[in-house]
Chain A
């Protein structure tokens, strides 16, 4: 039995570590922003540290089970009740290591949430509703018009309850079903919701932010690679949660301008 148990634990430790290491390159989808790369670095550091801790704890467990199994030959035990200094060193080492991870693991998250104005930033709103995303560009005036809940009418295409006939700022607002941004352009995305909590997630950007009704929550990103990426919802929002998704198009500057003009024409 001792043999089986310790073998199982060794197998677990070794196979898990090998599997993880082998497939490591392909785990996370490609990172397409500086921020995403910073998140990945933090992930890698955590992976190495926890991998070492995982393997050594499991292997020690297996070794002790095997070595100190009850047999006739080792019929003595070492009845020690602890080593204050050794335990102290271990505890202190873990404290330093973990808190250091907390400090470094905080920075990229905070960068995405920095509040200072970034020059030339593109501001876009992302709205969640059961069960779709809507995006709003402020148009040439750079201002979002006010939203009126009583005017929200999906059937009539007035998803956000805009009243361009009386709010001048709304006249040039562009509401779209997908999000497009120019490549290498800093974007400030403002998360809002009409009904329940949703969460905006783009894997390749490593960005996630809840959309909470009654609040406007900004998050920043700069996509560094053109392409089409999936936007999904990662907060349970009701029965259609699983199908609440949209596309993120990262385009060249000129194609983006064209796209935006096309969208403006469709309003």
Chain B
């Protein structure tokens, strides 16, 4: 249908000499949004793999502290002598795990990987408006990842301050603890780099949405995935600068002898630091001004995809399209007004605490509205249970569970008990880890045919779903119980405090569940590789879906919409036309004569 267009027909030149150079130009230093999307996916994949392994090391250490772990003493003879983790090395791995997951997996994959590939296609744009910026963003992300991982190989290892890097622990330098010197400095460079890279991607997303839409692709005809990427990009552009500033100030504290985050009169290891009054809370305010929008940046694409897939696999239009659009925008706005709910115990003024609590509750309302819409879309449908739909159903279930625990945490009084315990760990892993993970899996199974021209194995996919769905609940539900018992988070050992030690059986259960769930992910890896090599050939529109990328051949060709730009005449979810689940209209194709 759409043969690859010869080079030179577009703004971005793609020289075609043969051999290695051509390969490198096309697949390594590419400015093509599709290639960049795939590269982001691979980057996130590697980061996720490492982060999962780290979490298993931590879980095994917590449950069975006497077990000698293989290989890790080779990586760090100091941090894991004889295969036994030291407390500080546990915290180093904890920091790396959280940082990799939040920044390099959950931010990068839903937004930069899938968004890069499919946002332009769903809008009918031929390319990203700034392809070189896009490429720069990818390579900056990779550089940031390398810098972060390099901390594993330096003398005192990665920082021990967690992904939130609270000052003064993160700001005072090596005297505050192992990894707080060079390790923390490298961490800060890495995060600042990643933030800048994400902002570049966001600029592309915003401009492709504002300027690149095909004729007839009005705002209210945009697929809800596109809406989610757009609002997510706007949130990135407005919130990530706060973290960049935070990182710059932290670097000044580390490298230039400044004390933005260090108050006067600090005494560490018996030494007076001799500083002039900075504010530790400044770090937290800037961090959470970024951090709360960030958690919604990770989940908005998954929420958009859920709306999208619930409709396609129920064979009927989205229930309450406009309500979802408005909810997405409302989440985008309110997301900037609630950061203080992470800081209820910092000595906050009661008026501020009250406002933050009320606004936090307010942001649950659009989330509840979306859940209502998803259920409404399922209602009266003709539901097909392909793997992408299974993960979408899983997403709805987990999002409800994890969202409701947010209702506990949003109340200062209840948070006073639960803050800093495993209850928060359960909450954040259910909504951010598991739910966004389900979104990533659904997206992979759904779009794999468009990217590779092959279908993924349904059989492996369904087995993967069951192991993940059951395993994730078994792993994270018991953490609520630990939190209710008051078990603090970020403890490297259960042995010191008696009531924590008595909870060890629960920790053992969680570790076993986590190991099993992680093993289940091998099915996903196998499926990816096997399907890539010998999956069934994919038709152009295997799911009978309605957004623009599906009028293209599979795999999607280079700059598909550059010359024959599609004209959109229909809504994004024209499914079940006339009550018939088989009748649908894909955007960009001619609308039915009757109807």
Contact = CB atoms under 8 A, between A and B. Distances in A.
Is B a genuine binding partner of A?
Answer: yes
Contact of B581 (A53, A70, A235): A70
Interface in A167-198: 191, 194-197
Nearest to A29: B486
Contact of A214 (B162, B264, B413, B469): B264
Contacts of A69: 382-383, 385
B314 A68 contact: yes
Contacts of B411: 42, 46, 101-102, 104-106, 109
Main secondary structure of the interface of A (DSSP, over half): mixed
Contacts of B323: 82, 87, 91
A245 B497 contact: yes
A129 B404 CA distance: 36
B382 A149 contact: no
Contact of A82 (B322, B358, B380, B417): B322
Contacts of A230: 497-499
B380 A5 contact: no
A190 B3 CA distance: 73
Contact of A241 (B316, B357, B484, B490): B490
Nearest to B91: A239
Interface in A75-132: 75-83, 87, 90-91, 94-95, 98-99, 101-110, 112-113, 129-130
B393 interface: yes
Given A105-B412, A208-B417, A242 B87 contact: yes
A55 to B, nearest CB: 10
Contacts of B591: none
A50 B270 contact: no
A46 B280 CA distance: 33
B383 A70 contact: yes
Contacts of A79: 316-317, 575-579
B334 to A, nearest CB: 12
B417 A196 contact: no
Contacts of B347: 191, 209-210, 212, 215, 217
B291 to A, nearest CB: 15
A226 interface: no
Interface residues of B, number: 117
Interface string B342-353: 001111001001
A263 interface: no
Contacts, number: 342
Interface string A4-18: 110011001000100
A201 interface: yes
Nearest to B407: A50
Contacts of A49: 407
B361 A102 contact: yes
Given A152-B267, A203-B499, A239 B178 contact: yes
B452 interface: no
A33 interface: no
B393 A27 contact: no
Given A75-B581, A208-B419, A199 B345 contact: yes
B177 A235 contact: no
A94 B415 CA distance: 20
A249 interface: no
Contacts of B496: 242-243, 245
Contacts of B167: 197
A9 B466 CA distance: 12
A195 B87 contact: no
17 contacts: A1-B390, A4-B466, A39-B414, A39-B417, A50-B404, A57-B375, A61-B400, A70-B581, A77-B316, A87-B376, A94-B369, A105-B411, A194-B266, A195-B176, A195-B267, A213-B266, A243-B496
Interface of B: 86-88, 91, 160-162, 166-169, 172, 176-178, 263-270, 272, 277, 279-281, 314-323, 344-347, 350, 353-354, 357-358, 360-362, 364-365, 368-369, 371-373, 375-376, 378-385, 390, 393, 396-397, 400-401, 404-405, 407-408, 410-417, 419-421, 462, 466, 469-470, 473, 477, 481, 484-486, 488-494, 496-500, 575-581
Given A74-B382, A82-B321, A108-B416, 6 more contacts: A43-B408, A64-B383, A87-B373, A102-B360, A129-B267, A196-B166
